[in-house]
Amino acid sequence: MHRALFSLLLAIVPMTSALSAAKLPASGTLEVYIIDVEGGNSVLFVAPSHESLLIDTGNAGAVAAVRDAGRIEAAIKDAGLTQIDHLITTHWHGDHFGGMAELASKVPIREFIDHGPNVQPGELADTFLKDTYPQLYARGKHTVAKVGDKIAIAGLDVRVVTSAGEMIKAPLPGAGKPNPYCASYKPGENNAEDPMSVGVFITFGKFRTIHLGDITKNKEFELMCPNNRLGTVDVFLGLHHGVDSSNSPVIVHALHPRVAIMNNGTRKGGQPEVMQTLHSSPGLEDLWQIHFSLLSGQEYTVPGMFIANTIDDQQGTMPIAAMPAPPAGPGAPPAPVHNGTGYWIKLSAQQDGSFTVTNARNGFSKTYKAGL
């Protein structure tokens, strides 16, 4: 009898262990995919709980939307996801919401988060918000983000620190010290919609990262001066594509990132002023780029192993001098793109503050130790 009971227990224990393991997260790692959407923006966060947060969905246009949604879908599948739990649209520019409808036709999206109405009238955004967006969020939940809000993802602290032109008033825990870079601040120009961007500060154990959409220099000053309300980060994401209407020392130097990952395009971002600010940032170990930038030239570019994507029509040699940025607006020449495989940069963070960044194009990977 005792022998039979003992045999039964031996059979039950493995089953119990297997059931317990099935309830545990697949990984104790925060995975972040910085996705190539040809100078637009898209970043996918996958928590250890396997809950997901997607920031932006790439470019508008019949070809671009399908291309970018396909690249985002590839990252979603690589992460083993079957849905997106939260989608933040930082603001209503076509390079940030353009692939949303196409993506929503492929992958269920449970919550749609934005800053509220568009403040820069334009046919593309206004038509989308009137005719398409309500149909998309009717399938899930719609939330207008307010500063101070938290987005509920198990294991992560995701705080909204900018939205609809508002900045958090109280400093985050451990922040609030005077910002010495405010003294040299110079105002910049911006359109109406970029400053409205939804920005989030994400904490995973001791690891800290931030994505601020396309907030501009004037808003950076409002957020970080006279006191730094955010503290420091390990990784600074997005960087408004690396354009010089943002990325002042007021925020880049004050955040003291160890790594910056620029979601730029071949002729969008990487301008000399931004590159100088980044490369002179105290404590910055590496800059990673989603694209090679023609606006950097040899003068300001980073080694190719830190760049995920090149361009189809490459020059025989790269000039030392940076290429002037093309004019903005409808008369601007089309940017060079590549319509083949879009390689992502993947960030894998641990709760102790260590993290690894990997370039999917060449497999180059670098690990940054905790506590430095």
Q: What is the pLDDT of residue 370?
A: 94
pLDDT confidence band for 336 (50 / 70 / 90):
low
Query: In this predicted model, what pLDDT tens digit does every residue of 349-358 receive, in sequence order?
Result: 999 999 999 9
How many C-beta atoms lie closer than 10 Å to residue 188's C-beta?
Answer: 16
Q: What is the pLDDT of residue 22?
A: 33
Q: What is the pLDDT of residue 11?
A: 41
For residue 44, give both structure tokens: 């996918």
Per-residue pLDDT for 96 more than 60? yes
pLDDT confidence band for 29 (50 / 70 / 90):
very high
pTM of the model: 0.90
pLDDT confidence band for 330 (50 / 70 / 90):
low
How many C-beta atoms lie closer than 10 Å to residue 211's C-beta?
Answer: 28
pLDDT confidence band for 329 (50 / 70 / 90):
low
Mean pLDDT for 314-323 is: 73
pLDDT confidence band for 20 (50 / 70 / 90):
very low
Mean pLDDT, the chain, whole residue set: 90
Per-residue pLDDT for 71 more than 60? yes
Q: What is the pLDDT of residue 23?
A: 34
Residue 295, helix vs strand vs coil: coil
Q: What is the pLDDT of residue 95?
A: 95
Nearest-5° angle of CA 6, CA 8, CA 14? 105
Per-residue pLDDT for 228 more than 60? yes
Residue 56 and residue 44: Cα distance in Å, rounded?
9
Nearest-5° angle of CA 77, CA 79, CA 82? 55
Q: What is the pLDDT of residue 322?
A: 79
- The fraction of the chain above a pLDDT of 90, given in percent, is 79
Please tell me which residue, 59 or 20, carries the higher pLDDT value.
59
Residue 52 and residue 31: Cα distance in Å, rounded?
10
Mean pLDDT for 69-81 is: 98
Q: Quick one: DSSP state of residue 187?
A: -
Mean pLDDT for 112-129 is: 97
pLDDT confidence band for 149 (50 / 70 / 90):
very high
pLDDT confidence band for 267 (50 / 70 / 90):
confident
Mean pLDDT for 157-169 is: 97
Note the helical H segments in the chain: 2-23, 62-78, 94-97, 100-104, 123-127, 133-137, 217-224, 249-255, 272-279, 297-300
Query: In this predicted model, what pLDDT tens digit does every residue of 183-210 receive, in sequence order?
Result: 999 888 889 999 999 999 999 999 999 9
Mean pLDDT for 88-94 is: 98
Tally of residues, the chain: 372
Per-residue pLDDT for 8 more than 60? no
Query: In this predicted model, what pLDDT tens digit does every residue of 208-226 receive, in sequence order?
Result: 999 999 999 999 999 999 9
Q: What is the pLDDT of residue 80?
A: 97
